Amino acid sequence: MSSPEVSRSGKPAVVAHRGASGEVAEHTLGAYELALEQGADGLECDIRLTADHQLVCIHDRTIERVSDGVGAVSEMTLAQLREHDFGSWHSGTPAQVLTLDELLTLTLDWHRPVRLFIETKHPVRYGSLVETQLLEKLHEYGVATPPSADHSRAVVISFSSAGVWRIRRSTPMLPTILLGDSARIIGGTAATAVGATGVGPSVQTLRTHPELVDRAAASGRVTYCWTVDDQEDVQLCADLGVRWVATNYPARVRDWLVTAY
């Protein structure tokens, strides 16, 4: 599995938020395959640890919203999670829970370079073990120590400044993004204190504080904006110079950017 440089252009790159989750059930193999087929530049996922310490792609602490089962992810083994359907609730197509192993394999084996944005969730039962297990997995796939941030196939993102710091301390060349829904957090000293290579405001925050993009650039950081599904917001991100836009609808956002440019 090679790690060529991911191409960069003057317009924002499109990240499929939990896959093409506006069309297919989030965090399923089908959602990510569709996003790749639609030409997404990056994929985004949330990870959690199961009771047997397997990394799975699930946003919520529990599985009620996205499956036909109930229970906390941290209290269930991977085998137990496999007993439930994680796809029919959205599009009627059954799907198993997706592991980070499966998503990494899909991403790195794709016929063109795609970047994977991996969000660690906090607070969680297992604390820092999430980052520890994630780094072990990235080392296993040969993407934990890229020659530079531009050449990295993986980016670790988190709302937890401690989580970002744990990654930066262990693998300083691996790019990281500190997420936040307030300008005070990501526009202040937090990103500097933990050494984040990027900041991740919500699109609502960016509408109110467009100066965040220039402030981030002035300190050598890129901007990753979430979750950008409306054409006006896509144009705003393009005008401001946002580097990455995370969206539930990668195909239509790519179309809008083609039209804008």
Evaluate whether 231 touches 258 at the Cβ level (below 8 Å).
no
C-alpha span between 131 and 59 (Å, rounded): 16
The active-site residue, picked from 53, 59, 122, 209, is 59
The two structure tokens encoding residue 9: 């252009």
The active-site residue, picked from 17, 27, 84, 90, is 17
59 flagged as catalytic: yes
Bridge partner list, 154: 116
17 flagged as catalytic: yes
Question: Which residues are known to be catalytic?
Answer: 17, 59
